[in-house]
Amino acid sequence: MPLSRNPLVSKIPQFLHSSEDPEVLIMGCSLPQMSVAFYDADRFNSVDSSDIQMMRQYTKALYLEELLKKKIKKNLHVFNLTSSGAMASDEASILKKLLEFDKHPRVIVFGIGPRTFFDNTYPRKTAVTEILEKQRTLKDLYRADLSWEERREILLGYLSNFYRERSDYRNFLVKYICNKANREPSIYLVQQKFAAQEALGSERDQPAITTTTGIATTTFGLLKNQEGKGHQNPRAFNADLALYNMRYNPPDFERFDFELSGLKTLLETCRKAKIKILVVDMPRTNANEALLDKQILMRYRNDIPRLVKSFEEASYLNLNDGRTCNIEDFIDSVHCNSSGGKKVQDRLAEHISGKNWM
């Protein structure tokens, strides 16, 4: 499918070209995305939680809106602009593009995890970066650094979606042929399948791997909580950990520095635009945390909060504290299910209302 309609990033161009201008904007990768979507699915039946593509395209945050209304005594519009796989540098680019399109939230909630700052399986030019490069306005025609071809593309882009998405149709043909030939369209997905098979010990009972993202869609589980209860599917949980082991190791310190710089750019943009931002370290299981190299984990725990706290407009909230969620609140080693999503949003609303930002 064309990139602008890919469920991983499709909500970005839709939001840019819409009339939406919410007071609160949720940003980040699939960690805050699933926390919001799963509980909204249970409480309001607003999205089909069995359809992973619909979950990724979900733009509402009804429960968080409800909580903020009760605590702040105001009607606030909360928009869920999370994108699966988004890195910190992606979010900095998204915010700059939002301001170009005259979107100006009062508060941003930015949910992060370790792979927001380093991921061996992601290229520097992510899907988010690609989609943002295609989002132009007529104001760009006056930019002196644009070539004639780029100016022509802007003009024709308003008339012909096909012209702007020609590379996406080429990608579609490649993936279509690969699907017919029963082959994976990228080395990344091949690696993930091998990792899952190795973790399970055989191809039998292998969890389903989606050909669009490579993420296992089954439910996972391994560790036991304080009451001695374990998650329901430890074999699939091991496969999920194998995939994250590929993402985390060997640790990419250069990528970490690059993404930390992206976070700084995001914070600086918020300061200039007078936008409050809450950076939230999302809950994860101990098993996932144990995969991280000690040195890069220390930098993640220390450098990010220190950077955030150096900005007066920003606040840092650690939900990976071992108290917010337990093993039963996860669908895999990092993503919250409905119960976990409720706990996360309860903490978010409490923190935001306590800051008197609205």
pLDDT digits (tens, 9 = 90+) for 212-234: 333 333 333 333 333 335 556 68
Q: What pLDDT score does 213 carry?
A: 32
* Half-sphere CA count of 16, side-chain side, radius 13 A: 22
Q: What pLDDT score does 169 carry?
A: 63
pLDDT for residue 99 is more than 90: yes
Q: In what order do the strands lie in the sheet with 24-28?
A: 78-80, 24-28, 107-112, 276-281, 314-318
Q: Which residues contact 227 (CB under 8 A, 6 or more apart)?
A: none
Rounded Cα distance between 293 and 188, Å, is: 22
Mean pLDDT of the chain: 84
Q: What pLDDT score does 227 carry?
A: 33
> Which helix (H) or strand (E) element contains residue 112?
strand 107-112
Give me the mean pLDDT over the 248-276 stretch. Answer: 98
pLDDT for residue 37 is more than 80: yes
Rounded Cα distance between 119 and 235, Å, is: 23
Query: Packing angle between helix 88-100 and helix 253-273, nearest 10 degrees?
Result: 30
Rounded Cα distance between 68 and 188, Å, is: 40
Rounded Cα distance between 38 and 33, Å, is: 9
Rounded Cα distance between 336 and 16, Å, is: 28
Give a three-class secondary structure readout of 41-71. HHHHCCCCCCCHHHHHHCCCCHHHHHHHHHH
Q: What pLDDT score does 29 carry?
A: 96
The pLDDT tens digits for 304-358 are: 999 999 999 999 999 999 999 999 999 999 999 999 999 999 999 999 999 989 8
Position 125 confidence tier, pLDDT thresholds 50, 70, 90: confident
Structure tokens at 199: 């973790």
CATH 3.30.420.10 holds for 3-133+251-355:
no
Alpha helices in 209-324 (DSSP H): 234-248, 253-273, 286-289, 294-309
Token look-up 């370790």 returns 114
Neighbouring C-beta atoms of residue 265, cutoff 10 Å: 17
Q: What pLDDT score does 98 carry?
A: 96
What single-letter amino acid sits at 30? Answer: S
What single-letter amino acid sits at 217? Answer: T
Per-domain boundaries in the chain: 3-133+251-355, 182-248
Residue environment code for 74-112, b if the CB has 16+ CB neighbours within 10 A, otherwise e: eebebbbbbbbbbbbbbbbbbbebbeeeebebebbbbbb
The pLDDT tens digits for 184-210 are: 776 666 766 676 666 555 444 443 333
Residue 208: alpha-carbon gap to chain centroid: 21
On the question of a cis peptide bond just before residue 283, with omega within 30 degrees of 0, the verdict is no
